[in-house]
Chains A and B, each alone.
Chain A
């Protein structure tokens, strides 16, 4: 029994160490590793009440993350990385199944608490960029992240808009020319349920390259 207690203590301490190490990794916005450049970024502002309602909707929620690595001076896009997550809430078990895909592969997890879910969907953890991203120690880098919740495909959206446009201008017989005010109601079809644009703090390149 004492041996089991010691083992448990060791496990707990190891876990504690691992967690604190993970927290340290998460604080580095960009890091060059042997496998390439990765990004860690907390997107806490995503966690609005509206976002939580969507996450608890019982229907699969699709999240698309478009991450740009920006280089300054010049505001040049040095690299782009995409992440796609599908989140489904089980109404009875009250848990979320999360499936996230990046260029590194697909990861499936289950979260039993909302805070756990946020750790997956409201944070980028070791998000890989394509190989061969050149980081200059003399330049500064930041991330521009766009998160779209349930985006409609651009092609489909264009099709819908085009259809609406046809009905608006259908009246070729109408003599409406000559009006001082020509009202074409902006029937912009919201492409997503939510769009969030974020910009990270800027870090120097030498910090990114540091081991």
Chain B
């Protein structure tokens, strides 16, 4: 028996120097696994046709695999060959596994003292018309504001991302909002009682577009936006202070119809190891926008922004620093200014541009921050600590406990110019903090946090 085995081993010992790889002719291309995606899109990206000659290690196949993966539509891309009708002729079989394409992208809900509740939803179809385009639709609505002449607000937004149109990736978007801005006429600066506020109704709608392309190791995003705005500036434009003084309110908006438009650019360098709950790497973004009559804007201004994030992992512990700084010059419209809720974790942020709360910043440092709702200079510096609880496959991919704390500031020139205290005491800065649980699930990212809950409750 051992002799038979020895013979087997002897004669089956692999031989040296195999023949060179053969050149093969593609007889046909078979694409398997497509449900929502057009076959034409796959064959276009594949770049091979029947009659083409390939080798088993053809680099074009590897390139095509990467290009198909880069569409973001497929979990898996595999190629194999099967025999054709004659020796040397092959059928190229492309096996694809599509991702789920229709997803809930955003959920909006909450309540504040001035807005009894708001509710909204954002959906995204990642493979619109089977051509790899991404269609996003979102809507949010509110109950009637609990304020004199208050009314319900709603906003709609839709965008289409076409990765391969005109040889460049292109975002096209449209939006409409029927909203209300709240402005204070009475009360202390830290008094969030709705009775102290009046409403400024507006309607705005328009379009935006954006593209991006690599510039060395960076990505440059360039875009433009144009909207038509209608406001009815109220007759009551006086802010009455508790000490008996009063001052005229400047809304930063033109009465009647006006145009909001700007050209924007953003340079991005991103070395983070992942988009969601990263643990290593750095993100640096420098951007700006210019609003000018040249871009069909009734408001002339310029705005610059810097964003920096750095993540470092020490053992199981993840430490990160986050910085945002922005400065505006000129005469920006109210909506283009920095908003307190976008900087302070403890104040409800805007939803599709709608302002939902009149809560001031908590003013932990006893500065002039309570007065600040909109500003032309803003910054936020925060430190965050993450402790990964688990990382696995399944419904919940990853869970992080986190704690973040920092300092933020929001100012406008008038706030600093007309002050009753020293400049140092009037500097509108405040502490911001948050802690909770971040869950990365198959459905999306859930942030179950102290600030998230607090900012959505009617205090």
Q: Which chain A residues have a beta carbon within 8 Å of chain B's beta carbons? A: 9, 11-13, 15-16, 19-20, 53-54, 56-60, 86, 88-92, 97-98, 107-113, 116, 120, 152, 156, 160-168, 170-190, 193
Knowing A170-B161, A171-B173 are in contact, say whether A183-B445 is a contact too (CB < 8 A): yes
Specify which of B21, B76, B78, B270 is in contact with A162 (CB 8 Å cutoff): B270
A97–B21 CB distance below 8 A:
yes
Chain B residues with Cβ under 8 A from A89's Cβ?
A: 56
**Most-contacted residue by chain B among A53, A107, A113, A184 (CB, 10 A):** A184
B90–A91 CB distance below 8 A:
yes
B18–A110 CB distance below 8 A:
yes
Q: In chain B, what residue has the closest Cβ to A59? A: B56
Knowing A109-B18, A181-B446, A183-B443 are in contact, say whether A190-B223 is a contact too (CB < 8 A): no
Specify which of A19, A54, A91, A180 is in contact with B452 (CB 8 Å cutoff): A180
Knowing A57-B79, A112-B12, A189-B69 are in contact, say whether A173-B225 is a contact too (CB < 8 A): yes
Specify which of B6, B80, B107, B446 is in contact with A59 (CB 8 Å cutoff): B80
Q: Is B252 an interface residue (CB 8 A)?
A: no
Chain A residues with Cβ under 8 A from B356's Cβ?
A: 178
Knowing A15-B10, A60-B57, A171-B171 are in contact, say whether A108-B17 is a contact too (CB < 8 A): yes
A-B contact pairs, 25 of them (CB 8 A): A12-B7, A13-B6, A16-B2, A58-B80, A58-B90, A86-B57, A92-B83, A109-B16, A112-B12, A116-B14, A160-B66, A172-B210, A172-B266, A173-B208, A173-B223, A173-B225, A175-B155, A175-B157, A175-B354, A176-B106, A178-B341, A180-B110, A180-B447, A181-B445, A183-B105
> Per-position contact with A for B73-88: 1 when CB-CB < 8 Å, else 0?
0011011111100010
Q: Is B456 an interface residue (CB 8 A)?
A: yes
Closest CB-CB distance, B43 to chain A, in whole Å? Answer: 18
Chain A residues with Cβ under 8 A from B72's Cβ?
A: 164, 167, 187
Chain B residues with Cβ under 8 A from A111's Cβ?
A: 14
CA distance A108 to B16 in the complex (A): 6
Specify which of A91, A172, A175, A181 is in contact with B352 (CB 8 Å cutoff): A175
B444–A183 CB distance below 8 A:
yes
CA distance A102 to B390 in the complex (A): 37
Q: Is B314 an interface residue (CB 8 A)?
A: no
Q: Is B296 an interface residue (CB 8 A)?
A: no
Knowing A97-B19, A162-B270 are in contact, say whether A19-B5 is a contact too (CB < 8 A): yes
B-side binding surface: helix, strand, loop or mixed? strand
Chain A residues with Cβ under 8 A from B452's Cβ?
A: 180
Closest CB-CB distance, A154 to chain B, in whole Å? Answer: 11
A-B pairs with beta carbons under 8 A, tally: 213
Instruction: List 9 extra interface pairs beyond A57-B79, A88-B21, A176-B105, CB under 8 A.
Output: A16-B3, A91-B90, A109-B15, A110-B15, A163-B214, A167-B134, A170-B221, A171-B171, A182-B105
Chain B residues with Cβ under 8 A from A113's Cβ?
A: 12
Q: In chain A, what residue has the closest Cβ to B446? A: A181
CA distance A160 to B274 in the complex (A): 12
A12–B82 CB distance below 8 A:
no
CA distance A183 to B445 in the complex (A): 5
A59–B79 CB distance below 8 A:
yes
Q: Is B342 an interface residue (CB 8 A)?
A: yes
Knowing A58-B56, A97-B21, A190-B75 are in contact, say whether A179-B169 is a contact too (CB < 8 A): no
A60–B106 CB distance below 8 A:
no
Q: Which chain B residues have a beta carbon within 8 Å of chain A's beta carbons? A: 2-3, 5-7, 9-10, 12, 14-19, 21-22, 56-57, 61-62, 65-66, 69-70, 72, 75-76, 78-83, 87, 90, 99, 103-110, 120, 122, 124, 126, 134, 136, 138, 155, 157, 159, 161, 163, 169, 171, 173, 175, 208, 210, 212, 214, 219, 221, 223, 225, 264, 266, 268, 270, 274-276, 287, 341-342, 348-354, 356, 397, 440, 443-447, 452, 456
Specify which of B56, B107, B210 is in contact with A171 (CB 8 Å cutoff): B210
Chain B residues with Cβ under 8 A from A183's Cβ?
A: 103-106, 124, 443-445
**Most-contacted residue by chain B among A59, A166, A184 (CB, 10 A):** A59
Q: In chain B, what residue has the closest Cβ to A9? A: B3
Closest CB-CB distance, B281 to chain A, in whole Å? Answer: 10
Knowing A58-B56, A177-B350, A178-B349 are in contact, say whether A160-B21 is a contact too (CB < 8 A): no
Chain A residues with Cβ under 8 A from B175's Cβ?
A: 173, 175
A174–B107 CB distance below 8 A:
no
A91–B83 CB distance below 8 A:
yes
B70–A164 CB distance below 8 A:
yes
CA distance A162 to B76 in the complex (A): 18
Report the 3 A-B pairs with minimum CB-CB distance, sorted nearest first: A58-B81, A183-B444, A16-B6
Q: In chain A, what residue has the closest Cβ to B210? A: A170
Closest CB-CB distance, B170 to chain A, in whole Å? Answer: 9
Closest CB-CB distance, B86 to chain A, in whole Å? Answer: 10
CA distance A110 to B219 in the complex (A): 47
